[in-house]
Each structure stands twice: as structure tokens, then as C-alpha cells.
């Protein structure tokens, strides 16, 4: 099973294919490649799979998903 997790961008460095964001997943911060979401900006929520942000997600949907994952004890 593959799982993509929502996280919030807290910092962005680099440009184009080298855009890297620090993304917070409920407190755990990881570096994520933002090449697939060039329009993403700080404070946006993104769906992340294997180190790549795949899409931007609105805050309400991100919060719901994070709550479900916490209830299932995945995160």
C-alpha cells in the first residue's frame, strides 16, 4: 500500500527542479522536493509521497486527513 501524507510548507529554498521545502507533518519536519508543485508557497499544505510534493491541498482537507491518520495511529 502506498500512502501520501499532507504536510505544511514552512520554508522554501532553491528554484525550478531544485525547489526544496521544509514540510511539517504534525511536528516532524522533513525536506521535500517541490518540483511538481511550482506554485506552492510557504504555509500551503501539500500531499507528499516518497519525498515529493504531488499536489496542493486546502487547509480544511489537510486537517481532516491528518485527524484520520492520527485516529488510525499511522502518525
pLDDT tens string 23-70: 998 889 999 999 999 999 999 999 999 999 999 999 999 999 888 888
What was the pLDDT predicted at 72? 85
- Decide if 54 contacts 37 (C-beta within 8 A): yes
Give the DSSP letter string of 1-32: ----EEEEEEEEES-GGG-EEEEEETTEEEEE
| Grid coordinates of 28 | 516532524
What was the pLDDT predicted at 30? 97
What CATH number corresponds to the domain at position 22?
2.30.30.140
- Decide if 48 contacts 23 (C-beta within 8 A): yes
Parent domain of 48: 5-71
For residue 67, give the DSSP letter.
Answer: H
**Confidence band for 4, pLDDT divided at 50, 70 and 90:** confident
Indicate the number of domains in the chain: 1
What was the pLDDT predicted at 35? 96
Amino acid at each position: 500500500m502506498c500512502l501520501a501524507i499532507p504536510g505544511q510548507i514552512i520554508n522554501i529554498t532553491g528554484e525550478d527542479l531544485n525547489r526544496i521545502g521544509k514540510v511539517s507533518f504534525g511536528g516532524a519536519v522533513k525536506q521535500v522536493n517541490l518540483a511538481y508543485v511550482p506554485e506552492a508557497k510557504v504555509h500551503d499544505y501539500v500531499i507528499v509521497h516518497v519525498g515529493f510534493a504531488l499536489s496542493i491541498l486546502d487547509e480544511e482537507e489537510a486537517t481532516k486527513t491528518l485527524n484520520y491518520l492520527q485516529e488510525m495511529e499511522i502518525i
